[in-house]
Amino acid sequence: MSDQPSQAAVAYNNPDFDVRVPPDLTRLGDTLPARVGAPAPEFEAQLLDGGTFRLSDARGKRHVVLMMGAISSPMTAIQLPAMNELWREFGPKGVDFYLVYVKESHPAETYSHHSSMEQKVSYARELQRLEKPAFPMLVDSLDGHIHRNYGQWPVSLFVVHKDGRLVFRSTIAQPVQLRSYLAELMEWEDLMRAHPDHVSHTGYTEFVVEHEVNEAEHYRVYKRAGQKAFDDYWRVYPNQRDVWPKP
């Protein structure tokens, strides 16, 4: 068997920064192939600390939060402290959290695009050591099976209901919105336990939200990734060359 990555893995692991928000924001939801209300895409993945996790293992037992991330992603580092707090708050209430290690969003000299699972696992261990996620980490396949089926944003975020449906999705991890959603989900479960015959209404909500950009954290993560991370970003956004991000 060849040790060379498959064509799918090569295509997925772009050596350059390639994240783009579509100019037409009405198409933003189309960048997430996993659809709210539909069965969540099934998967099996390696747990960084040993063993295997199957999404079906949680069926009927626990809700599952999936946050995508990588060591070259500034937003991973920025949002992990708040996500750790949410895990501490909602973990005891029946919600499991997983950080899914995906492709490098800013591949550079120190952390380049992935060409083997061994390399990907080693980078995941570095992220675990440096940023200290409190909840378990999953390592996606080299060809990004989970990432491609859910949504290829650096820190896309999803909630899978314990009944197997996808019930929340976002192109970017926003702990404030996630907390609001999980709190409402817990309130509904409490109500149903107390009043099992309660009549419900099903709703669907979709919105676009702006978020603050942490310049210092972007600089820190770009710097540890390597100079190419800066150069790639400035190639895409030339008006910010040597201006942003700064330490």
For 28-166, where are the alpha helices, taking DSSP H only?
74-90, 117-131, 145-150
Q: What residue ranges do the domains of the chain occupy? A: 30-193+213-240
The one-character DSSP state at 28 is G
Q: How do residues 7-43 score in pLDDT, each as one tens digit?
A: 999 999 999 998 989 999 999 999 999 999 999 999 9
Q: What pLDDT score does 1 carry?
A: 41
Q: What pLDDT score does 178 carry?
A: 98
Q: What pLDDT score does 240 carry?
A: 95
Sequential pLDDT tens for the chain (247 residues): 446 899 999 999 999 998 989 999 999 999 999 999 999 999 999 999 999 999 999 999 999 999 999 999 999 999 999 999 999 999 999 999 999 999 999 999 999 999 999 999 999 999 999 999 999 999 999 999 999 999 999 999 999 999 999 999 999 999 999 999 999 999 999 999 999 998 888 999 999 988 889 999 999 999 999 999 999 999 999 999 999 999 9
This prediction's pTM: 0.96
Q: Cβ(12)–Cβ(144) under 8 Å? A: yes
Q: Report the CATH superfamily, name and number, of domain 30-193+213-240.
A: Glutaredoxin (3.40.30.10)
**H or E stretch covering 68:** strand 63-69
Q: What pLDDT score does 212 carry?
A: 84
Q: Cβ(116)–Cβ(2) under 8 Å? A: no
**H or E stretch covering 64:** strand 63-69
Minimal CA–CA distance to 154: which of 21, 2, 43, 8? 21
